[in-house]
Every structure is written in C-alpha cells, then in structure tokens.
Structure 1
C-alpha cells in the first residue's frame, strides 16, 4: 500500500507531540493545566442553545442541506457584516456557509492554486493554512513576522520570481499566535499589493470581536469594499463560544466564493440546519454575551501578564485575542519545543511551542488564556518553580 506524497509534509506535528506529552504527564499523576489550545472554556449563549434544541424536533432539519437551504443563514451573516463593518454584501453570491472557518481556509487552495503555484503564508501562522496548500500540491513562501515590524509582513521582501508564480496570500489579524493587530492603512497596502500581483487575498478573521480596544478589529473588506480580490473567513467559535458546533462562513469576491462552493459540493454537504438556526440566533440576537466574553478575556490577560511579570518573565500586554505571545528567557531562547515538553512533564502546565507555528516562531511560546484567573495564577506559580533564577 502506498500513501500519497502530498501527505509527507503533514507527518510532523508539534501539537501531536505535545498531546502525547500531556498524556504521559497525566499518567504519572500530574494535574494538567492545559494552556496550549485556543479552545474557549466559556459557555455557548443560552438563546443559541435554545434555537438548536428547538430545531432537533423539527423533521425538516433532518435531511441533507443544499446551498438553497442556507439562505436564511447567509442573509443573517450579510446583515451582521454590513452592520459591523459598513460593507455591502450580497448574500446570494458573496456569502458561503462553512463547517468552521478552518474547513474553508484549508479548502481554498484547492480552488485557487494549480500544482506548483506559491501561496504566501505568515510565519509564524496557523498550521492549517500550510496544510491546505500542501494538499493542493502548492508551494509555500513564508513571510517572516518579527516583533520589530509589529509582526506584519514586509511585502517588498518577497522575491519577484516567487511573486510571478504566486496566486494566494493568506493573512490573519488579530493574529494567532503573535496577538498582533493591523491598521486600515496596512490592509489598504495589502489589497493594493494583491491587486498589483493578481493574488487572491484570504483573511482568516476569527478574532474580529476579541479585541480590548472597545471596537472590533479591521476587516480586510473595509480596504476592498468592491471585493476585487479578497475573501474573509469568520467563525462562530470565538465570538459566540460555538467551537464544538463547527460553523462559520466566508464573505468576499463572488468568483472566489463560487470556486470554493464548487470544492465544497464535491466534499461535503452543509452544516446541520439546527446549528444554522443557532448561528442565526447568535448573529441576530443580543450581543451582551460577546461583550461579557471580551471582558472575561481582558481580565485574564491582565492577571496573567501581571503574574508573569511578578516571576520575572516580561510579556507584553496584547490588544486582542485570547493568547499571550511570550519570548522565552535564556537558556530556552531557541528550544521552544523542549521547553514545553519539559514544562508539562515537570509541572503539568502545557503551553504551545512557537516552533509549531513556523520557523519564525522559534524562541516563543503561546499561552492560551482558557482558564479563570485563579487557575492562570496557580499555573504561572508552577512555571516560576521551573524557570531558573525566577524570583
């Protein structure tokens, strides 16, 4: 039996290594505090759960759901986007329901890349972005993100030879894992660059609401309201704590939406209509749960940053996301995977090694703020015992 060569780049997975390390630590009696995964511990809003529960007894929701069956959801998503970002959206041609945004970002390369084409990806970046390119037999050009540049890519550094063979650029702000945000000026520059080089601009946008500035993050479509080259992916997982329900959507250029829809038609049907009804309730119902979610993560951010500073680990306070992006102290500055493996083995605290997000992520760890403040403080006390020279 032979496995396809396209699977080879998917064999190595730092997060699978961390999963085994957590299991091994648990087997020795360690109590695990898992800060390695960005899976919110907050509850799905009650009115969302009620909409889903009511749908379960409706037999019209029990069959396959084709594109026409997603109309009510697409209309709700279009209205939500227009109200939030002042961008006109056609729900018939510019919106596509997804089984989580990761499904959409992973399938997009199949729709826009030919074998051997380049995709320009953030380094560090979300691992599934690379996985989708590999499955499409594309090539990856990593755009390094460094602190000195605010973790924004330098478009001028991309070689012309690569650009001539590139078809896709993937960006994501607020950014996982670095927590960086991007201004409207940056997005205007990105759109102009993609227009100049005939690139599809894909914006993975799960943290649209999870900002601590009092207003939502900038949408890429605010810089490309005519949707000349842009597609944006949103998930219900973060704003509405619906990660387990696997529902999201794409909004953008009609031709790109059509191509992605054609891929989906050959791979899957649409999400269960009851879950769609729950998502509609989330988008159209009271938004106080979103505000409460942001307040919860702001408090956790403040608590964790203060506790880390107290033990001598200086970590910047992010303006967005549910993470901290922490530069490792010596002697761990180039050994993020080893640091995380040893930390969970000796203390039970699990963090995500920066190298798992790309070469430029080495020297950092990502800390997910997915536990209450008292648990975060206790976990950081354990880290203090592990770090050499901690006060």
Structure 2
C-alpha cells in the first residue's frame, strides 16, 4: 500500500516513546507516579455531571448535533467572555464549539495555509500546533522562547524573507510548557506585528484561569477588540477538569471562525449535546469551583517546589499553569529524553522531556502537578535517590 508523504513529518513522537517507557517501567515492577501528562486528577463538579446525566434521559439529545443546535453553549461562551473581559461577542459569527481546543488548533492551519506557506510557532510549544501545520503542508518558523527573554518571542528577530511567506502566528500564554505569562502590551505588540505582515493571530488559551498571586492573564481579544485578525481557543479541560469530555470553543474574527467551521463541517459534527449542556452549566454557574481548583494547584506547586529545593534542585516558581518547568541538572542538560527514560525506569516517576516540545526545550523537563501533595513529595524523594546515585 501507498501512504501520504505528510506522515513523514509525524514519525517522531517523544511522547509515544515516553508512553512506551512508562509501560516498560510498570512491567518491571515500578509503582508509577505519572507527572508527564497535564490531565487533571480533580473531579468534575457534581452540578455539571447532574446536567449531563439528565440529558441522557432526553432522547432528543441522542442524534447528530449541527451548528444551530449548539446555540445554548455558544451563548454561555459569549456571556463568559463578556463578563470576564468586557468583550461583547456575536454568538452566531464569532463563536465555534470544538471537540477540545486541540481540534481547533490542529485544524485551523488547513483553513489558512497553502503548501509552502509559513506558520510562526513558539519553540518550545504545544505539539498539536506543529502537527496541524505539518498536515496542512505548511512550513514552520520556530520562534525561540528563552529564559533570558522571559520565554517571549522577539518579533524583530524574525527574518524579512520569513515574514513575506508567513500567514499565521500561534501564541499561547500562560504557556505550556514553560509556565510563562504575557502582558496585554505584549499582545498589542504581537497584533501590530501581525497587522504589519497580514498574519492571522492565533492564541491558544487553556490556562486562562490557572494563575497565582494576583496574576490575571489577558485575552488576545483585549488587544484586538475589533477582532480584525485574532482567534482564541478555550478548553473546558483545565478550569473545569473536563478533559475526557473533549469540549472547547474558538472565539474571535468572524472570517477565521467561518473558515474553521468549513473545515470542521467535513470532519465531524459536534460532540453529544449533553456534554455541551454540562459545559454550559460550568460556564454560567458560580466560579467558586475554579477558585478552589486554582488553590489546589497553588498548594501543589508550593509543596513540589519546596521539596525540589530541599534536594538541591533550584527551580523558578511558576506564576501560572499546572506545571513546573525545571532546568535539568548536570550531566543531563543536553539529553532530556534519556533523563526521563532513566528516571521512570529507575524510580517510576514519569515526566515530559523538554525536547518533546521543540529544540529550545532541550535542557528542561516538565512536571505536571496532577497528584496530591503527599504523592508529589514521594515523587521528589524518589528523584533525590536517582539524582544522587
């Protein structure tokens, strides 16, 4: 049989390799503490589950769900944005439900890029951003995110010949994996750059709520209030612990929303209406559950950082997200993949190698704070043995 050439760019997958390493560690008798995946271990709120359960008993929710059947959810999303950011949103032309925000970020390049066009991507960055561009036949210019620049791209360093062929820029703050945050002035500068070069400005925004110590992450739409060229992606996976339900949405420029909707129409309909009913309940209810979730991740962050400090591993305290982005100690600084493979094999502690997020991620490891504080302490104790042998 013959297969498409586009599969060649998808051959290397560090996370698939790590999944194999975790499996081998368990088979060898290790007790796994998995800090490699940003999948929340916290439960969905009972009120949300109750709405979904009630929907199951309503046979009218059991069929295909087309765009106009999602109105209630789009209304909830628009209302949430207006309350949070003071932005009035047209729920008919500026909101699109998604089967998780990853669906949107992976499919959008199909609507923007012709083969050979360039997408400006963060390095390190989230893997689906790369995968979507590859599937669209686009080329990537990787904007290095370095600690000395607070993990923000330097737009003036992008070559003119790259800008001439670029069609979109993808940003994501608070940032996975580096945990960096961005300010509204930064987004305004990004918008100015995209205006200058006629680029779509794409912002992946899953960690809007998970910020600590008074930080309030801005929306890119606050910089582009007229929504001239910006689109933003939100997921219910992080703020509401609904990762397995696969629900999110895109919001922003009407032309970009229409284009993404055209792509989506030939790929899928929508998820089950009962899930959207539950998501609507989450968005329109009191956000006390989100505040509690943020408090839990802050406690875990503090416990984990202090435990690392106690074993001599100095790490910057993140201002946002559910991760810790840790520079690797010697002698592992140029081999994050091997560090993570050896760590899980010898201790059962699984982490994500920085190289899996891009070349500029080499020399780092990402830990996801998806266990209770006591388990996180045990993980660090195991790592201490590994590091000091």
For Structure 1 versus Structure 2, the TM-score category normalised by the shorter chain is over 0.9
Q: Which residue of structure 2 aligns with residue 63 of structure 1?
A: 63
Matches of 1:48 and 1:225, distance apart in 2: 31
Asked if 2 retains the 8 angstrom alpha-carbon contact of 1:120 and 1:140, the reply is: yes
Q: Which residue of structure 2 aligns with residue 198 of structure 1?
A: 198
- 1:187-244 Cα offsets, whole Å, 9 max, x none, are 0000111011000000000000000033531100010010011000000000001000
Matches of 2:73 and 2:369, distance apart in 1: 30
1:77 aligns with 2:63: no
Matches of 1:359 and 1:2, distance apart in 2: 31
Matches of 1:328 and 1:83, distance apart in 2: 41
Q: Which residue of structure 2 aligns with residue 167 of structure 1?
A: 167
Matches of 1:351 and 1:66, distance apart in 2: 39
Q: Which aligned pairs between 1:106-125 and structure 2 lie closer than 5 A?
A: 106-125=106-125
Asked if 2 retains the 8 angstrom alpha-carbon contact of 1:113 and 1:138, the reply is: yes
Matches of 1:28 and 1:240, distance apart in 2: 35
Shift of 1:341: 0.3
Matches of 2:257 and 2:343, distance apart in 1: 44
Q: Which aligned pairs between 1:356-367 and structure 2 lie closer than 5 A?
A: 356-367=356-367
Shift of 1:291: 0.4
Q: Normalising to structure 1: TM-score of the pair?
A: 0.99
Q: Which residue of structure 1 aligns with residue 260 of structure 2?
A: 260
Asked if 2 retains the 8 angstrom alpha-carbon contact of 1:220 and 1:230, the reply is: yes
Asked if 1 retains the 8 angstrom alpha-carbon contact of 2:200 and 2:230, the reply is: yes
Shift of 1:87: 1.2
Matches of 1:193 and 1:35, distance apart in 2: 37
Shift of 1:287: 1.1
Shift of 1:157: 0.6
Aligned residue for 1:178, secondary structure, equals: coil
Asked if 2 retains the 8 angstrom alpha-carbon contact of 1:88 and 1:225, the reply is: no
Asked if 2 retains the 8 angstrom alpha-carbon contact of 1:236 and 1:247, the reply is: yes
1:95 aligns with 2:129: no
Aligned residue for 2:313, secondary structure, equals: coil
Aligned residue for 1:167, secondary structure, equals: strand
1:180 aligns with 2:180: yes
1:20 aligns with 2:28: no
Aligned residue for 1:379, secondary structure, equals: helix
Q: Which residue of structure 2 aligns with residue 236 of structure 1?
A: 236
Matches of 1:215 and 1:311, distance apart in 2: 29
Matches of 2:387 and 2:3, distance apart in 1: 43
Matches of 1:50 and 1:286, distance apart in 2: 16
Matches of 2:22 and 2:357, distance apart in 1: 19
Asked if 1 retains the 8 angstrom alpha-carbon contact of 2:124 and 2:360, the reply is: yes
- 1:278-304 Cα offsets, whole Å, 9 max, x none, are 000000012111000000000000000
Aligned residue for 1:125, secondary structure, equals: coil
Q: Which residue of structure 1 aligns with residue 158 of structure 2?
A: 158
Asked if 2 retains the 8 angstrom alpha-carbon contact of 1:210 and 1:216, the reply is: no
Matches of 1:78 and 1:131, distance apart in 2: 29
Q: Which residue of structure 1 aligns with residue 8 of structure 2?
A: 8
Aligned pair count?
A: 389
- Structure 2: runs of 5+ lacking an equivalent: none
Shift of 1:277: 0.3
Matches of 2:370 and 2:377, distance apart in 1: 12
Q: Which residue of structure 2 aligns with residue 378 of structure 1?
A: 378
CA RMSD of aligned residues (A): 0.7
Aligned residue for 1:170, secondary structure, equals: strand
- Structure 1: runs of 5+ lacking an equivalent: none
- 1:10-54 Cα offsets, whole Å, 9 max, x none, are 111111110000000100110000000000000001110000000
Q: Which residue of structure 1 aligns with residue 324 of structure 2?
A: 324
Matches of 1:16 and 1:251, distance apart in 2: 31
Matches of 1:351 and 1:256, distance apart in 2: 36
Matches of 1:3 and 1:143, distance apart in 2: 31
Q: Normalising to structure 2: TM-score of the pair?
A: 0.99
Matches of 2:328 and 2:355, distance apart in 1: 12
Q: Which residue of structure 1 aligns with residue 303 of structure 2?
A: 303
Asked if 2 retains the 8 angstrom alpha-carbon contact of 1:233 and 1:248, the reply is: yes
